[in-house]
Amino acid sequence: MPEWKKRWWMWGVLCILGCGVILHHTAQKAETEEQTNPVSSLELNEEMDTMESPEEKEDQEIKKIALTFDDGPHPVYTERMLEVLEEAEVPATFFLLGQNIEGQEKIVREIAEKGHLIGNHTFHHVQITGLSKEQACEEIEETNKLIEELTGTGTEYVRPPFGTWNEGLESSLDLIPVMWTIDTKDWTTKNVDSIVNHVVKNAGENDIILMHDSYQSTVQATERIIRLLKADGFEFVTVDEVLFD
Ligand SMILES: [Zn+2]
């Protein structure tokens, strides 16, 4: 082979080898970048934060707690509350006022469809112990009728407005009264921080938290309460699970 042909042949071989090395290097670099990509590692860290080792899970007992919302359905904030609960995959209990149901039928159906528990809060938000037996029955039954029409089932649970109840009512109305153990006073403060702090400071196993799905501040507070209490080992349940399990 003449000298010039030999040289061309050698250059050709060197070029092919060189390209091979460059390609291999680029592929490796891409792989390393993928591993150290800041976005991916951030996502990974977040995932790891929420994961617990089996031992940690055993150590951390699950404490049940129930969120309850009175005075709805509200034309604006009940829907927002449902969105917060759905996002967090948390069930709650809504004690409805008969007088607020008209015009909000869709929301009442939605509460039931999304797996929340519905309770009765009378028709006109009345102090039920101050009524005659007939009037008391009417307040409860009218509301139950509406709930049953919309959701297919009535409710066994009543939250008496102002927390007044007596055993005579219990036997004649055949309903289970549901009081509360933590009163957020959300309707007076309307202050997100103070609602959140009050609940987080006082929360214990089987507590029933009283709130109202009638304010933007309560919607925001609920979002934070769920996040903080979940991190502290609480599991949110409907009120029947706290009362009977
Ligand atoms: Zn109320």
> Distance, CA 171 to ligand 1 centroid (Å)?
22
The residues assigned a catalytic role are 70, 212
CATH says 58-244 is which class? alpha beta
Output the pLDDT for position 44. Answer: 40
Tell me the CA–centroid distance for residue 89 and ligand 1, in Å. Answer: 25
Please say if the pLDDT value at position 20 is more than 60.
no
**Euclidean distance between CA atoms 120 and 154, whole angstroms:** 9
Kindly tell me if the per-residue pLDDT of 19 is higher than 70: no
Q: Domain extents for the chain?
A: 3-49, 58-244
Mean per-residue pLDDT, 39-68: 59
Give residue 152 CA to ligand 1 midpoint distance, Å: 24
| 70 Cα–ligand 1 center, Å | 5
Question: How many CA atoms lie within 13 Å of 102's alpha carbon, on the beta-carbon side?
Answer: 5
Decide which of 54 and 190 is more confident: 190
b/e map 117-137, b = 16+ CB within 10 Å: bbbbbbbebbebeeeeeeebe
Most confident of 127-141, 153-167, 220-234: 220-234
Residue 103 in this model has a pLDDT that exceeds 80:
yes
Q: Which residues have beta carbons under 5 A from ligand 1 (an ion)?
A: 70-71, 161
